[in-house]
Structure 1
């Protein structure tokens, strides 16, 4: 099985994250931020990547450190689980509808982290989570997972639906990207023989 595990303890957060790329979408998530929990659970369920995430963060300060570190650790765990990325699909694209909302997420597991973000929110919070932190979450996970990530809200008005459609689109695109293609065997999905750089 392709698994990754990250444990980080700083003065800002204590984090444990474990993933299984070949799972069934089971999750055990507790970040202290309810809406963030809900989104990571959606990512797990719809990517079929098992995710355990436990965070004890300095929420008495604000939500920035917990949000950022959850994404950094998840990205690190995903990168660890992918290893040299031999045999993976590498690319993934998903259109994700939710009622009046449609989002599109495209990614390349290239080893070259980059985020293009074309989405926004009309309110400052979803539950208790600051919506300005959502883009930062995706930037952080793209950096440590080593993925080029394009996120676009095509249309939508309900902020909950917008956020959830984006996370589900990310999940489905990641599923396609990490899926092993038996035709590739142990080949690295690049003509230069390696990913990154």
Structure 2
């Protein structure tokens, strides 16, 4: 299903270091870097060149694979919430490691074309991430008109929610 070759991926939690993302889709690179910065992840992701839609799927899948060890470590919270804004847009992402991959949104992400892609970048990425990491992801748009701001807010909220889910709870 996700056939694009991965040249290399690393993910470090609780890091303020800069990320380096090269998926071949500049708009997606920027969104993943926004999510990483908001969630305090350091992400190094490089994909071998392919068609843009395949690269979006592969990036979501690879990020999901990289998150699995952090989400499944003993004591990891396993669920998270993030609310972030970009200009007039305010979005909340709630997620859970459920083993039942699903993305639910109250906003039509399919109409938010980003980076000139024919298909929707956000939907493809989130579905691939949810499938590989076994996540149920709920996206709620509280406010927002400009589609670029909406997608930015969603990805930033996703980063915060993922960081929350990866947090190890000490007894």
TM-score by length of 1: 0.77
Per the alignment, in what secondary structure is the counterpart of residue 134 of structure 1? Answer: helix
- Asked if residue 14 in structure 1 is aligned to residue 5 in structure 2, the reply is yes
Contact map agreement 1:33 1:128 (CA 8 A) in 2: no
Q: Distance in 2 between matches of 1:132 and 1:89?
A: 30
Match runs of 1:76-155 below 5 Å = 76-82=65-71, 84-120=72-108, 125-130=113-118, 132-155=120-143
Aligned counterpart in structure 1 of residue 23 of structure 2, from 5, 27, 31:
31
Q: Which runs of 5+ in 1 are unaligned?
A: 1-9, 184-197
SS for the counterpart of 1:26 is coil
In 2: Cα distance, 1:113 partner to 1:122 partner? 18
Aligned-residue CA RMSD in angstroms?
Answer: 2.1
SS where residue 81 of structure 2 aligns?
strand
1:27-60, CA deviations, whole angstroms, 9 ceiling, x for partnerless residues? 111111111000010111111111111012223x
More deviation in 105-114 or 142-151? 105-114
Matched, 1:72 2:64: no
- How many Å apart are 1:77 and its aligned residue? 1.2
Aligned positions of 1:177-192 closer than 5 A: 177-183=165-171
2:134 and 2:17 map into 1 onto residues whose CA distance is 22
Distance in 1, matches of 2:97 and 2:112, equals 31
Structure 1 runs, 4 residues or longer, greater than 6 Å off: none
The structure with the greater share of residues assigned to helix is: 2
- Partner in structure 2 of residue 187 of structure 1: none
The CA deviation at 1:110 is 2.9
Q: Is the 8 A contact 2:81 2:95 kept in 1?
A: yes
- Equivalent residue, structure 2, for 1:191: none
Q: What are the ranges of 5 or more consecutive residues in structure 2 without an aligned counterpart? A: none
Q: Given the two structures, how large is their TM-score scaled by the length of structure 2? A: 0.88
1:173 and 2:161 matched: yes
Secondary structure of 2:48's counterpart equals: strand
Q: If you compute each CA radius of gyration, which structure gives the higher value, 1 or 2?
A: 1
Structure 1 residue 153, shift from structure 2 partner: 1.6
